[in-house]
Amino acid sequence: MLGMDVAAACAQRGYDVQVHDLPEFDVTNPDHLRQAVAAADVIINCAAYTNVDRAQSQSDLAHRVNGEAVGRLGQLARETGKWVLHVSTDFVFDGRLDRPYVEDDRPNPINEYGKSKLAGEVLLRQSGCSHCLVRLEWTYGRHGRNFITKLRERARTTKALNVVNDQIGSPTATAEVAQAFCDLAEQRAEGLFHFASEGYASRYDVAAFVFDHLRMEMDLRPCRTNDYPAPAARPLNSRFDCHKIEPLLREPIAPWQRPLEHFLGEL
């Protein structure tokens, strides 16, 4: 989902973009990684194992993709003098903080997916390569399934829907992320950053916004996360403080409603 928008944004800015993806490219294959790094001047790694619930039973695979492969990428980048931008997630936090998370807050993942993504962060830093780490949250876009597209799919089969109102974050368009990544790549920025749309909402609030703008009748019912146990625990607070990244961006970060309204209009 994210990688396609990043590739398109980079191409629009005049870069020669090479995209590596399954099944031809396997990020856990050392030879594939070595060839990809050798052919690039800049590496933006959007590859990830992202099935949060399945990661509980496939933790070995999640850690190979989200952890070990990232460490190997960092080692290759250090050896060849390449700069890496790597994507991480709000799931490295436990969601128990009573304020938005800043980059210096201590990670404490509460599921295997979050643990695997944190392992990738640690291994990339330990590699010693020139890199930029960007944590994202609640992303949606034209490619792939996400919370927004799932809402639309559900509306075709039901007129009543329970949505959690105790998970708080910022729905963030991959198109917005892609532009931010281009800004960071042009500067070869280094360090750890949080990026999300401005403002915060519950999952329930986002669902209400979506159905209102799509003019779909839906009996929305608020519920709690604990009402629907899942294999993987979710952080309730996914709010990010994005002040650190703002000076590096061409444009101010937009409120979450604006990109989402545009996305819904395209649908």
| pTM of the full structure | 0.96
Beta-carbon contacts of residue 244 (< 8 Å; ≥ 6 apart) = 102, 103, 191, 193, 194
Interval 17-40 mean pLDDT: 95
Closest by alpha carbon to 43, among 8, 70, 61?
Answer: 70
Q: Is the peptide bond before 247 cis (omega within 30 degrees of 0)?
A: no
| Window from 79-88, 102-111, 146-155 with minimum mean pLDDT | 146-155
Q: Which amino acid is at 83?
A: W
For the chain, list the domains and their CATH numbers: 2-145+170-199+239-254 (3.40.50.720)
| Window from 113-117, 123-127, 182-186, 226-230 with minimum mean pLDDT | 226-230
Buried (b) or exposed (e) across 232-245, using 16+ Cβ within 10 A? bbbbbbbbbebebb
Checking if the pLDDT of 179 tops 90, the result is: yes
Integer Cα distance of 35 and 56 in angstroms: 31
> What mean pLDDT is reported for the chain?
96
pLDDT value of residue 266: 87
Confidence of residue 144 (pLDDT cuts 50, 70, 90): confident
Q: Is the dihedral of CA 78, 80, 82, 88 positive or negative?
A: negative
Structure tokens of 133?
């780490």
Checking if the pLDDT of 1 tops 90, the result is: no
Checking if the pLDDT of 156 tops 90, the result is: no
Residues with catalytic function: 113
